Structure 1
Amino acid sequence: MKKTEVIQLMAIIRSNYQHFEISEEKSAVWHSLMEAMSFEAAKLNLKSFMQQSPYPPTAADIIARDPGQFTDYAQLRSETAERLREIEGWHQQAVPLPERLIPKMLRGGDVNE
């Protein structure tokens, strides 16, 4: 996307959200974030965002990932369960901390010992 197109998007946002500020620095940052994106895709994402939110968008709201992309939650659950089993194994294999390395105040009993 060209910098002029980013500024066009920002102008649309500004015309609909009165507290949205446009600056040279902000437009430069947004352009660096969106330069690989097509202007048409950005306009569609902006339109979708504006239909759902009374608040101005961030660059991330406009960049929004591909809706065709999905997260495989079953795989994430499986990987999480595997990681938790691994952590549990570490707990079972852990060696207790030698008494001499535990600060006196944490050993229990009388604090004044």
Structure 2
Amino acid sequence: MNQQEVLKILNTINAAYSRFEVTDERLVLWSEMLADMDFNKVMNKLKKYIKERPFPPTIADISVQETQENQFLLKYEQWLKEGAERREHEKQSRNISKLPWQ
């Protein structure tokens, strides 16, 4: 999120809560804290917050953190597949060594 988008967030808070002041210090801090967040997701969370709460939000109240994809299940399935292939290969290797003409 860029500083212009943060300013829109702060102005929205100011419009909803008369005691919330938009200052340069607040703009700098909020810009730093919201920099890696998606503007639309934060704005949607802010609008929901405004509908439900009588006091201005903190940064934590409207933060939207992206969750990282959990690779564990994919790695586990790959491990199972590779293990099954290895076991099948070993089984076939043992069967070949037991041919009657050898």
Kept in 1, the 8 Å contact 2:49–2:57? The answer is yes
For structure 2, the residue ranges without an aligned partner over 5 or more in a row are: 67-102
Between Structure 1 and Structure 2, the one with more helix by share is: 2
Kept in 1, the 8 Å contact 2:37–2:65? The answer is no
The one-character-per-residue Cα deviations of 1:83-107 (angstroms, maximum 9, x if unpaired) are xxxxxxxxxxxxxxxxxxxxxxxxx
- Corresponding residue pairs, total: 66
What is the distance in 1 between the residues matched to 2:5 and 2:52? 23
Q: Amino acid of the residue matched to residue 14 of structure 1?
A: N
- Secondary structure of 1:9's partner? helix
For structure 1, the residue ranges without an aligned partner over 5 or more in a row are: 67-113
Q: Amino acid of the residue matched to residue 11 of structure 1?
A: N
- Structure 1 stretches of at least 4 aligned residues deviating more than 3 Å after TM superposition: none
- Pairing 1:30–2:30 present: yes
Output the TM-score relative to the length of structure 1.
Answer: 0.55
What is the distance in 2 between the residues matched to 1:54 and 1:65? 24
Query: What RMSD over aligned residues (CA atoms) do the two structures have, in Å?
Result: 1.3
Task: Give the drift of 1:54.
Answer: 0.7
The one-character-per-residue Cα deviations of 1:17-58 (angstroms, maximum 9, x if unpaired) are 000011111111001110000100111110111111011111
Structure 1 pair 49–65 and aligned structure 2 pair: CA distance change class (3 A): farther
- Pairing 1:19–2:19 present: yes
- Secondary structure of 2:13's partner? helix
Q: What is the percent sequence identity of the aligned residues?
A: 30
Find the counterpart in structure 2 of residue 4 from structure 1.
4
- Secondary structure of 2:6's partner? helix
Q: Which has the higher contact order (CA 8 A, sep 6+)?
A: 2
